[in-house]
A and B are shown apart, each in its own frame.
Chain A
């Protein structure tokens, strides 16, 4: 039974199948919200309300011609999309939904999984950098260097802000952190600042406007993805979608009290809370313009990092006070 449960967990929910379907749905949701905010319709044609559009895009890209540049490191170039997809899907398994026991840590929920999930969510950045570097295109190279430069900006604020609720909950385990805030919902409020910082940092991690600098099309064409086409590009796009789901899931698990209530209610919780975070991300995307790479680093270190430290300080003081 446990084996079957784990297999289901790996393949169906919240494994590959669910992640694929749900991430395409999230892409649709994001596109639709973004479009409506811009006075457009967004996808309407494929499926009801255009729901199947991201899936159609995926399969269409899969069928397109796949060009590998002559000068590229061919093995690395072809392998990276798969590695990236594997990494984010693995991170998805660590979200505290359904298959965990609060009392006994298992494969998918253990002490320190918050660190592992943060680590797994950092890897796609490295994958993108390597992808850009291995394609040897001049625009990709600039894009790759921008990916890494941005990483230095947003990573520290993201870590600090995500870890502060963990400190208050006195646990490094996502399920326990979520359970802590479910019991004391009012304690979510002191973490509001951290939540805002985390949402902005996640936006930067996902390279969406105002942080879409590594693939700013009017500056450096496709940036990181300039040389990618066909299947590989499809996998990269899927990777970004899944990363969107997992990172918004992480933010929801840490700041919004997780996904309580077993398989069914937990599923509803997951959908509602991640969509809420994605809505905020889409709002941010529609309301801002792309900023420059030096402005990202300045913004991150001048405002986000100090505020994240302040959040940490508040949490530590609050913890002493609660005792």
Chain B
């Protein structure tokens, strides 16, 4: 007997609204339909009406977990447009925060994976240790979530010796803990039984469906922008790209823990090699007419910003391609023929950030199920009409 179960828009396994409609036969998934658009905020349009500096703080709010990734990606592009070369010290600090963000994102994901598998102890422990890196980020930037470190031409805050020592201390603690999680994640029998062989994505599939980030790397594709197209400081760093060849959720856990360990390596190198000098150069307000594509390896995979300038102080177009969007086609393939019990695990394994990937809204008529796409002006007109036909609003009346 085939029937449909709706996972989302509201569901305990989902931290953000998205709708996965599963057609299941018993416990086996036969077909999947992903629907987006529950969290659309019109960010790209908004960006066209703000200056480059203002847009840094806008792109920071695309996502809460990888806030620094989006601003860095944007700022990289804007610096290319303005033909600016930020000072070395500024770059080092910028990518130090990048790596710390990767650490906090991967620790968060490990906990989520544990929780989705019903392994709450793992969840509690990883999130406890995530506090260490959150504190470090607060120490550096003053904030735990939106660091606001980036500015066009460098960073906004410097590091002192005390902070450097604290970072190294924290990283030493985290490295020890991460090695322990590696042991648990790859050895705890009931956890491994749940994630091994689940959500298979072969190398060929991963290539043809354009999977990015840890999802691709778990299918033994060595794809990492930091290595392939080393931007900024990464060509001076010594690190490896962590991959796994098991092509399943276990592989994705392993890849993320390996990346954690590599990130610790990078962080230590950055802190040790931190050059002297200024952290920021003065940036012009306007950029010459041009266009640029900026690539950045976010914790979830490759993040791409396309920026077009027209000579004014505002971008003419900003296009954001978040890694989650690139992984959706692969998710559908992974979910097919899996069990209902594996839905949260497989979906969580791409580390979905739904609000990053929302670029459009589809209107669905709830009676007929008919779908339409409408222009903004059309929406406005409809709203105005509805306003006109609405019964007149009465003011509240004092009962006595």
- A-side residues, CB < 8 A to B, are 37-40, 138-139, 142, 209-210, 212-213, 216-221, 286-295
- Least CB separation from B12: chain A residue: A217
The residues of B that contact A292 with a CB separation of less than 8 Å are 193-194, 339, 341-342
Q: Does B154 contact A (CB under 8 A)?
A: no
The smallest beta-carbon distance between A299 and chain B, in angstroms, is 9
Inter-chain contacts of B339 with A (CB < 8 A)? 292-294
Given the complex of chains A and B, what is the CA–CA distance between A38 and B125 in angstroms? 7
A-B CB contact pairs (8 Å), 24 listed? A38-B120, A138-B5, A139-B5, A210-B190, A216-B341, A218-B12, A218-B13, A218-B116, A219-B340, A219-B341, A219-B343, A219-B344, A221-B12, A289-B114, A289-B118, A289-B119, A289-B122, A289-B190, A289-B191, A290-B190, A292-B194, A292-B339, A293-B27, A294-B339
Q: List residues of B (272-317) whose CB comes within 8 Å of A's CBs.
A: none
Known: A38-B124, A289-B190, A290-B194; 20 extra A-B contacts, CB below 8 A, are: A38-B125, A39-B128, A139-B5, A209-B119, A209-B120, A210-B190, A217-B13, A218-B118, A219-B343, A219-B344, A221-B11, A288-B191, A289-B122, A290-B117, A290-B190, A291-B190, A292-B194, A292-B342, A293-B341, A295-B194
Distance of A291 Cα from B198 Cα, bound (Å): 12
The minimal Cβ–Cβ distance linking A38 to chain B, given in whole angstroms, is 4
Cβ–Cβ contact A291 & B194, under 8 A: yes
**Distance between Cα atoms of A292 and B340 in the complex (Å):** 9
Residues A39 and B115 in contact, CB atoms below 8 Å apart: no
Chain A residue numbers with a CB within 8 Å of B119 are 209, 288-290
Contact A289 B117 (CB under 8 A): yes
Closest chain-B Cβ to A210's Cβ sits at a distance in Å of 5
Partner of B118, one of A39, A142, A209: A209
Given contacts A38-B120, A38-B124, A139-B5, A295 and B12 within 8 Å (CB-CB): no
> Top 5 closest A-B pairs, CB basis?
A290-B118, A289-B119, A218-B13, A38-B124, A218-B344
Q: How far is the CB of A6 from chain B (nearest CB, A)?
A: 43
- Which chain B positions have C-beta within 8 A of A209? 118-120
Closest to B26 in A: A145
Taken together as a complex, chains A and B put the C-alpha atoms of A220 and B121 apart, in Å, by 21
Contact of A218 among B5, B115, B124 (CB under 8 A): B115
In the complex, what distance in Å separates the CA atom of A137 from the CA atom of B132? 43
Among B12, B125, B339, chain A packs the most CB atoms within 10 A around the CB of B12
Q: Does B188 contact A (CB under 8 A)?
A: yes
Across the interface, name the chain B residue whose C-beta is closest to A220: B340
Q: Is B190 within 8 A of A213, CB to CB?
A: no
Q: How far is the CA of A216 from the CA of B342 in the complex (A)?
A: 11
Among B117-142, those with CB < 8 Å from A are 117-122, 124-125, 128
A220 → chain B closest CB, angstroms: 7
CB distance from B284 to the nearest CB of A (A): 50
**Alpha-carbon separation in the docked complex, A289 to B342 (Å):** 13
Q: What is the total of A-B residue contacts with beta carbons within 8 Å?
A: 77
Q: Which residues of B contact A (CB under 8 A)?
A: 3, 5-6, 11-13, 27, 114-122, 124-125, 128, 188, 190-191, 193-194, 339-344
The residue on A at minimum CB distance from B3 is: A138
Q: What's the minimum C-beta distance from B24 to chain A, rounded to whole angstroms?
A: 9
Contact B344 A39 (CB under 8 A): no
In the complex, are the beta carbons of A213 and B341 less than 8 A apart?
A: yes
**Closest residue to A295 on the B side, CB-wise?**
B193
Q: How far is the CA of A292 from the CA of B196 in the complex (A)?
A: 12
Assess the B190–A288 pair: CB atoms within 8 A: yes
Complex Cα–Cα for A286 and B128 (A):
16
In the assembly, what is the distance between CA of A184 and CA of B329, in Å?
A: 65
Cβ-closest chain A residue relative to B344: A218
- Chain A contacts for B122, CB-based, 8 A: 289
Q: Which residues of A contact B27 (CB under 8 A)?
A: 142, 293-294
Alpha-carbon gap, A295 to B191, bound state (A):
12
* Residue picked from A37, A218, A220, A290, most chain B C-beta under 10 Å: A218
Q: Which of B27, B116, B191, B341 has its CB near the most chain A CB atoms (within 10 A)? A: B341
Residues of B within 8 A of A221 (CB): 11-12
B26 to chain A, nearest CB (A): 8
Q: How far is the CB of A214 from chain B (nearest CB, A)?
A: 11
Cα-based distance from A113 to B124 in the complex (angstroms): 42
In angstroms, Cα B347 to Cα A218, docked, is 11
Task: Kindly list chain B residues whose C-beta atoms are within 8 Å of the C-beta of A217.
Answer: 12-13
A126 to B117: give the CA distance in the assembly, Å. 26
- Neighbouring A residues of B341 by C-beta, 8 Å: 213, 216, 219, 292-293
Among A209, A212, A219, A288, find the residue whose CB has the most chain B CB atoms closer than 10 A.
A219
Q: How far is the CA of A29 from the CA of B241 in the complex (A)?
A: 46
Q: Are A286 and B194 in contact (CB under 8 A)?
A: no
Give, as a whole number of angstroms, the nearest-CB distance from B151 to chain A.
39
Q: Which residue of chain B has the shortest Cβ distance to A38 in the bound complex? A: B124
B191 surroundings in chain A (CB, below 8 A):
288-289
> Complex: how many Å from CA A297 to CA B80?
60
Using A38-B121, A142-B340 as known contacts, say yes or no to A219 and B13 having CB atoms under 8 A apart: yes
Measured CA separation A212–B117 after assembly (Å): 11
Task: Tell me the nearest residue of chain A to B345, going by C-beta.
Answer: A218
Residue of B3, B6, B121 touching A37 (CB-CB under 8 A): B121
B118 and A210 within 8 A (CB): yes
Determine the distance from Cα of A146 to Cα of B294 in the docked complex, in whole angstroms.
49
Query: Whole-angstrom distance from the CB of A318 to the nearest CB of chain B?
Result: 31
How far is A142 from B24 in the complex, measured between Cα atoms in Å?
11
Name the A residues within 8 Å of B114 (CB-CB): 289
Q: Which residues of A contact B190 (CB under 8 A)?
A: 210, 288-291
Contact between chains at A286 and B121 (CB < 8 Å):
yes
Nearest-CB distance from B240 to chain A (Å)? 29
Cβ contacts under 8 Å, B188 to chain A: 288-289
Q: Residues of B contacting A40 with CB < 8 Å? A: 124
How many Å lie between the Cα of A38 and that of B122 in the bound state?
8
A193–B12 Cα gap in the complex (Å)?
Answer: 38
Q: Which of A39, A219, A220 is in CB contact (< 8 Å) with B124? A: A39
Nearest CB in chain A to that of B112: its residue: A218
Within the complex, the shortest CB–CB distance from B362 to chain A, in Å, comes to: 24
Q: Which of B11, B121, B124 has the most CB of A within 10 A?
A: B121
Bound Cα distance from A139 to B11, whole angstroms: 11
Q: How far is the CA of A67 from the CA of B124 in the complex (A)?
A: 33
B170 to chain A, nearest CB (A): 18
Contact assessment for B115 and A291 in the assembled complex, using a CB-CB cutoff below 8 Å: no
**Closest chain A residue, CB of each to CB of B343:** A219
Inter-chain contacts of B342 with A (CB < 8 A): 292
Q: In the complex, which residues of chain B have a beta carbon less than 8 angstroms from the beta carbon of A294? A: 27, 339
> How far does the alpha carbon of A48 sit from the alpha carbon of B200 in the complex, in Å?
50
